[in-house]
Homo-oligomer: A and B are copies of this chain.
Amino acid sequence: MNAIDKFSHLLSLTREPFPASTKNYLIGSQPDVRVPVRDIALTNGETVSVYDTSGPYTDPKVGIDVRQGLPSVRGSWIDARGDSEYYAGRLRVALDDGRKGDADDIRLDQLRAEAAALQRQPRRAKSGANVTQMHYAKRGIITPEMEYVAIRENGRREWMQQYMQDTAREQRLAGNPMGANIPRIITPEFVRDEVARGRAIIPANINHPEVEPMAIGRNFLVKINANIGNSAVTSSIEEEVEKLVWAIRWGADNVMDLSTGKNIHTTRDWIVRNSPVPIGTVPIYQALEKVGGIAEDLTWEIFRDTLVEQAEQGVDYFTIHAGVRLAYIHLTAQRRTGIVSRGGSIMAKWCMAHHRESFLYEHFEDICDIMKQYDVSFSLGDGLRPGCASDANDEAQFAELHTLGELTQIAWKHDVQTMIEGPGHVPMHMIQSNMTEQLKHCNEAPFYTLGPLTIDIAPGYDHIASAIGAAMIGWFGTAMLCYVTPKEHLGLPDRDDVKQGIIAYKIAAHAADVAKGHPGSRSRDDALSQARFDFRWEDQFNLGLDPDTAREFHDETLPKDSAKVAHFCSMCGPKFCSMKITQEVREFAAKGMQEKAGEFREGGGELYIPIQPVA
């Protein structure tokens, strides 16, 4: 099998719906607001409906050709607003793909030819217009994107009702929102208000009409981001797109394309055109490629050109390390691990070499001018984040955070949507102050953290060391968690590492939602626990984050199909089952003790119920 065939095959597998699952759509106030949900059919007739990040890939009714890109979701909404226009766009040059007109260009020509059908004419705001969701929100306009987000956050609430009825239990389990203010039902107006005051963003470049809108904010479900990057030698569109589809299948709400090196422009076309989730990038990486990797040769002009290039392609948010100011660099000198952010070190190098203030900081308003023409959101990078626990919460880190707060105000003045990146490496007891400092200085702009890792001695298991910190900071108010894979600090994640990282972060995000008391978020837990108690094994697998692995683990010990309906499991075996006794406890409580005690003894007092075939 050649590489293209291999990844075409892999992609077809990755497109398979989850077991017992059907992709359905909740329809909004207009027929083209079609919000995806995954409905899981249980063996007891119940249907559990869950948030679905996987896009049209898991919808067998949608034909997808990665060489054509996904169908548009938002195109007509953008058209209807009438405040943007198509234009010729920037001329694509060889250097965009890291080439200099040498012999490699034959390969580049091939790659570009592969992506030919993915080329789109870019659009931007009409002169003087501002096309950001924040701009509309501040003017009181509820966009279809906002309505879409509201429907998506609520999900199919009907099925949850049965799990939300017991008032005594609900009171006992009421979350601790830690300052969040999540309404019982998310309305489009609530979404608008959150976006208007900067407490949430909807990353949605007008050149990425394929995106299924989603929100990042402390009063919404906690989201996760997965990073992907191009291969050393890119083999095909199929390979790059398969990575993306794999990540969103397991639940990535956002994907950052951190590609470096050759062919990154063309690869980005492939990814954006085939992505139903927002795509983020770190434009300084590409800018650095354009100057041959020499940080001090970077200029504002080259950087600006790269922003426009990527904005025209449809990138939804840019990581911009504008808080790495000249004056802060010496604060890292006594650190154990110095500057560990790649973008941060590029900018530190530039500042040192020129002994000048960062051009990102100096040109921040110019950057805002670009962002608002396309509705690219800021992800203000934490270039001075700690690289180990021993550097956590130090002067350099917080000096930068305070600057990011100032920059947030400037971005908001331009109605540019903004989130703030956070650490990194932070011991558990120091996590909360990261959140309080961020809330205070950045006025509740969404926080987007990498972990944090709580300890440094777990190379090979940093997805776990960081899931602990991620869950906690998510509870405290972080809106999006950037995943960490088991390969962190050691190497490049492969396909399984990506999955392991995503599952660990889905756990962290969900644990945070439950702790915050996001309405209905516990319902899936309750449905699964009920399935567990009822010995509905298939339902238990299918309601989990990874049905394949749950089923596989179960079958290692009890592989027979009959065991899937058995009223026991391999932990206790058929002879004695602790769960079954509760059935008796219930009768016992109902009938009164004495009566039941006699009856129980007469009946043989045995708890095991023989396997019954499913009717």
A456: shortest Cβ distance to chain B, in Å?
4
Contact among B294, B545, B596 with A457 in the assembled complex (CB-CB below 8 Å):
B545
Given contacts A173-B430, A337-B532, contact A342 B460 (CB under 8 A): no
In chain B, what residue has the closest Cβ to A576?
B293
Counted per complex, copies of this chain come to: 2
In angstroms, Cα B341 to Cα A533, docked, is 13
In angstroms, Cα B457 to Cα A532, docked, is 11
Contact among B348, B494, B526, B540 with A585 in the assembled complex (CB-CB below 8 Å):
B348
Let me know if A352 and B545 touch, CB within 8 A: no
Given contacts A524-B457, A526-B388, contact A333 B589 (CB under 8 A): yes
A467 contacts B by Cβ under 8 Å = yes
A582 contacts B by Cβ under 8 Å = yes
Q: How many residues of chain A have a CB within 8 Å of chain B?
A: 129
Contact among B337, B529, B544 with A388 in the assembled complex (CB-CB below 8 Å):
B529
A505: shortest Cβ distance to chain B, in Å?
10
A440 contacts B by Cβ under 8 Å = no
Let me know if B605 and A294 touch, CB within 8 A: yes
Let me know if B457 and A543 touch, CB within 8 A: yes
In angstroms, Cα B468 to Cα A430, docked, is 16
Contact stretch, chosen from A6-14, A124-132, A274-282, A509-517: A509-517
Tell me the dominant secondary structure on chain A's binding face.
Answer: helix
From 286 to 344 in chain A, residues with beta carbon under 8 angstroms from any chain B beta carbon are 288, 293-296, 326, 329-330, 332-333, 335-342, 344
Let me know if B337 and A579 touch, CB within 8 A: yes
Mark contacts of A533-574 with chain B using CB atoms, 8 A cut-off: 1 yes-contact digit, 0 otherwise. 100000011011110011011101110000000000111110
- Using CB atoms and an 8 Å cutoff, list the residues of chain A in contact with chain B: 169, 172-173, 175-176, 260, 288, 293-296, 326, 329-330, 332-333, 335-342, 344-346, 348-349, 352-355, 387-390, 392-394, 427-430, 454-461, 463-465, 467-468, 471-472, 475, 486-487, 489-492, 494, 503-504, 506-508, 510-512, 514-517, 522, 524-526, 528-530, 532-533, 540-541, 543-546, 549-550, 552-554, 556-558, 569-573, 575-576, 578-579, 581-586, 588-590, 593-594, 596-597, 600-601, 605-607
Given contacts A342-B572, A460-B544, A463-B464, 16 further A-B contacts (CB under 8 A): A295-B605, A329-B585, A330-B593, A339-B582, A342-B578, A387-B533, A454-B471, A456-B526, A457-B524, A457-B545, A464-B504, A468-B471, A468-B508, A489-B532, A491-B558, A491-B569
